[in-house]
Amino acid sequence: MSMLRVEDLRVYYSTPVGYVKAVDGVSFEVKEGEVFGVAGESGCGKSTLVHSLILRKPPMKHMGGKALFKGRDLMQLSREEARKIQYTELSIIPQYAMNALNPTKKIKDIVWDLAREHGYTDREEVEKLLRERLAMVKLSPKVADMYPVELSGGMRQRATMVVSTLLNPDLLIADEVTSALDVTTQRVVIELLHYFMEEGIVKSIIFVTHDLALLKQIADTVMVMYAGKVVEIGPMEEVINDPAHPYTQMLLNSLPRMGVHYKRQKLHGISGYPISLLNPPKGCRFYTRCPYAMDVCPEKEPKFVRVGEDHYAACHMLGGE
Ligand code: SF4
Ligand code: MG
């Protein structure tokens, strides 16, 4: 069953020198029960994409396309309607989750404000739920009475995850939630997200990261973005084992290999700079960095080609027309 269907979505930033085409014709579907990974380097549009689903404010501008969430187009919701579904149907754990909680309020007050805004009237019931959830993420019930600054980074991260999921959102969006964490805490976060799914607290997750190795541990499907466009999408295992797009191949080559001493590894960084999103070429946006670029590449936009079951990539080398 479809949880979210995004069709030809375009979200730009309005600037004095023109539009920055941060998300430019993106389509995908997130199914109920799946963890959907969005990968790419910083600036590829992945954060803009997920934030545009609910927290759209100037200079971010919806320029076209749809985002059908449980049948309703998120792009057409009023601010009031969007606020109503946030936390209860669709929730975001923000990129800087550790600093996302209001520092002047105790955790239980932050949670109560939020619950009240969504129609909850029984404070005791909400606090009981909070303590249950804190226990689930292995935090002491005392955390409810603490201020965010009294918690360590890892604890604050978990508290933020509890707050974001307290009202059982169907779709949880995690935007680079692990990037500021050490490897052990990263693993805890991944385990928690798995747990939220297993317990039915959330039904689907969109997990945004620049880290493909991490994504491998959690995602069922992966969508790779480059310069505002999708370049490849498919089942996680298949994309990792058999990447079709040169950019995905390079992203994977830039990962350290397991079990090989780091001194013996040659890491292939991706050289060159992405093109400007103010004035992108009409063809493939990766051509300035692609080792296989041909004459046709900057001129003509590559179409998606099916390279496997539910696996697609957009590159002229793959044929198409
Ligand atoms: Fe490289 Fe051309 Fe394929 Fe783009 S379309 S990834 S430039 S070969
Ligand atoms: Mg980002």
Q: What is the SS3 assignment for 141-200?
A: HHHHHCCHHHCCHHHHHHHHHHHHHCCCCCEEEEECCCCCCCHHHHHHHHHHHHHHHHCC
Pocket lined around ligand 1, Cβ cut-off 6 Å: 246, 284, 286-287, 290, 292-294, 297, 302, 315-317
pLDDT band at 254 (very low <50, low <70, confident <90, very high): confident
Q: What is the pLDDT of residue 131?
A: 97
Cα 95 to ligand 2 centre (Å): 7
Using the CB atoms, write b or e for 162-180: b if 16+ within 10 Å: bbbbbbbbbbbbbbbbbbe
pLDDT band at 97 (very low <50, low <70, confident <90, very high): low
Say which residue the tokens 């804190």 belong to: 134
Q: Are 315 and 231 spatial neighbours (Cβ–Cβ below 8 Å)?
A: yes
pLDDT tens digits, 4-45: 999 999 999 999 999 999 999 999 999 999 999 999 998 899
Q: What is the pLDDT of residue 99?
A: 73
Cα 251 to ligand 1 centre (Å): 15
pLDDT above 50 for 172: yes
pLDDT tens digits, 218-238: 999 999 999 999 999 999 999
Share of the chain above pLDDT 70, in %: 93
pLDDT band at 98 (very low <50, low <70, confident <90, very high): low
pLDDT above 70 for 320: no
Which CATH code, of 2.60.40.10, 3.40.50.300, 3.40.30.10, 3.40.50.720, is assigned to 2-89+169-318? 3.40.50.300
Q: What is the pLDDT of residue 262?
A: 47
ipTM of the complex: 0.95
pLDDT tens digits, 46-66: 999 999 998 788 899 999 999
Mutate to test the pocket of ligand 1, among 251, 286, 307, 321 (most ligand atoms within 8 A of CB): 286
Q: Are 233 and 39 spatial neighbours (Cβ–Cβ below 8 Å)?
A: no
Lowest mean pLDDT among 63-72, 73-82, 177-186: 177-186
* CB atoms closer than 10 angstroms to residue 198: 8
Separation of alpha carbons 175 and 224, rounded Å:
15
Cα 306 to ligand 1 centre (Å): 16
pLDDT above 60 for 195: yes
Residue 195 tokens, joined = 């747990």
pLDDT band at 265 (very low <50, low <70, confident <90, very high): very low
Return the ligand 1 atom nearest residue 287 CA: 7
Separation of alpha carbons 166 and 143, rounded Å:
15
Ligand sitting nearest the alpha carbon of 46: 2
Residue 308 tokens, joined = 């496997």
Say which residue the tokens 């830039």 belong to: 254
pTM, rounded to two decimals: 0.93
Cα 203 to ligand 1 centre (Å): 36
Residues lining ion ligand 2 (Cβ < 5 A) are 47
**Mean pLDDT in residue range 166-178:** 93
| Residues 6+ positions from 71 with CB-CB distance below 8 Å | none
Ligand sitting nearest the alpha carbon of 180: 2
Return the ligand 1 atom nearest residue 291 CA: 1
Share of the chain above pLDDT 90, in %: 75
DSSP 19-82: EEEEEEEEEEEEETT-EEEEE--TTSSHHHHHHHTT---TTEEEEEEEEEETTEEGGG--HHHH
pLDDT above 70 for 266: no
Three-class DSSP category at 223: strand
